Structure 1
Amino acid sequence: MSVADYMTRQLVVAHPKTTVSVAVELMKQNQIHRLPVMANNRMVGLITHGIIQRALPSQATSLSVYETTYLLTKTTVDQIMETQVQTVTANAQLETAIAKLRRYDIGVLPVVDGEAVVGIITTNDILDAFLNIAGYGQPGSVTRVVVHHDHVGVIFKLGQVLTAHDLSIQTLMVVNRPDAKVIELHVNSEQVAPVNQVLRAAGFELEPVTGER
């Protein structure tokens, strides 16, 4: 899973001398919360809804709404933008982007190819990626196989057992717990009973599944 698989490619950008009021309108029109700031085809900063909020005068000040609006129309994004911008490459693994978002406690990473900005990936994109990987929304049911003592060939054996009975899976995920691994299989709802039956018969331990998918 690479960043390129899940990043947003259609960029909406600001220029250094774009006013904050225009930047806010761009975000509103495109239902986004951040804009790369570009100059001469090179990213020079990032402006976000949070940065703008922090730059606004406090409600405790005596500025009127009209004075605040005036400030927004006169302030340009290069005066308040973040210039030390964390980025990620398009061919990086998705896990690398997630780790970077966590490490720097941020919600967005511009995606670069050399010096060119080719996309942007956000925490919402990461969540969408997880739903896609998990097969969420597809008709089906979940079977969980508990492996207390991990060893080479467990997943291969699972595949052998299901293939021998002409049963298939939609997606497969592995959850690492402190004391075990759980192999989560998403299968066709009509096949969940025979899948569970043949796996138990082959000696696999199954965990009860509750809750909606």
Structure 2
Amino acid sequence: MKRNDPISHLMSRQVITAHHGDAISKVRALFRTNGMHHIPVVNGEQLVGIITWSDILRVSFGDAFQTDERTVDATLDHTLTLEQVMRKNPVTLAETGTVREAAELLAGGTFHALPIVSGSKLVGIVTTTDLIKYLLDQF
């Protein structure tokens, strides 16, 4: 395994994003449809935050009581905005970064996804799962 492998070797470039101002119901649909756990939030091409499935579960008590999806969506859309639920200013890694730097950030944080940026433009994402798969390929 090379210590300085570029992050581009394992980052996903086809990133599903939420957009600044999207309704929570739209974000919930993205999670359900795509089976993912982390969605970067952008304003144009600029990264402005990240939202996780755990963030959604934290605010959607209806999910705990198996309430109708439309009721949960309507309640969330009328009480919260994406900006209130997402995490602003997430930890990021420059696209010139290395796999080792990504591993250090993910190991040291309380998060499991690392947006990859060029300046403030989102260009990819790496998750702890991506990193584990990359390490498995090395052995």
Q: TM-score range by the shorter chain?
A: 0.7 to 0.9
The yes-or-no answer on 1:102 pairing with 2:104 is no
- Answer yes or no: is the 8 Å Cα contact 2:57–2:63 preserved in 1: no
Instruction: Name the residue aligned to 1:68.
Output: 72
- Answer yes or no: is the 8 Å Cα contact 1:90–1:111 preserved in 2: yes
AA of the residue aligned to 1:48: T
- Answer yes or no: is the 8 Å Cα contact 2:91–2:114 preserved in 1: yes
Cα RMSD (Å): 2.2
Instruction: Name the residue aligned to 2:129.
Output: 124
Larger Rg: 1
The yes-or-no answer on 1:33 pairing with 2:42 is no
3-state SS of 2:61 partner = coil
AA of the residue aligned to 2:135: F
2: distance between equivalents of 1:105 and 1:79?
19
3-state SS of 2:88 partner = coil
Give CA deviations for 1:139-185 in whole Å, capped at 9, x if unaligned.
xxxxxxxxxxxxxxxxxxxxxxxxxxxxxxxxxxxxxxxxxxxxxxx
Give CA deviations for 1:89-118 in whole Å, capped at 9, x if unaligned.
122121111111121121000001112111
Question: Normalising by the residue count of structure 2, what TM-score does the alignment of the two structures yield?
Answer: 0.84
3-state SS of 1:65 partner = coil
2: distance between equivalents of 1:46 and 1:110?
8
Per residue, is there more helix in 1 or in 2? 2
Residue 26 to residue 44, structure 1, CA distance change in 2 (3 Å): same
Residue 26 to residue 59, structure 1, CA distance change in 2 (3 Å): closer
Give 1:58-207 correspondences, 5 Å limit: 65=67, 67-74=71-78, 75-134=80-139
Give CA deviations for 1:13-46 in whole Å, capped at 9, x if unaligned.
1112211121111122222111111113211111
3-state SS of 1:35 partner = strand
3-state SS of 2:76 partner = helix
1: distance between equivalents of 2:63 and 2:16?
30
Task: Show structure 2 runs of 5+ residues with no match.
Answer: none
The yes-or-no answer on 1:15 pairing with 2:19 is yes
Instruction: Name the residue aligned to 2:51.
Output: 47
1: distance between equivalents of 2:66 and 2:125?
36
1: distance between equivalents of 2:108 and 2:12?
21
AA of the residue aligned to 2:136: L
Residue 45 to residue 33, structure 1, CA distance change in 2 (3 Å): same
Task: Show structure 1 runs of 5+ residues with no match.
Answer: 135-213
* Higher-RCO chain (CA-CA 8 Å, sequence separation at least 6): 2
1: distance between equivalents of 2:29 and 2:131?
25
AA of the residue aligned to 1:68: V
Residue 59 to residue 128, structure 1, CA distance change in 2 (3 Å): closer
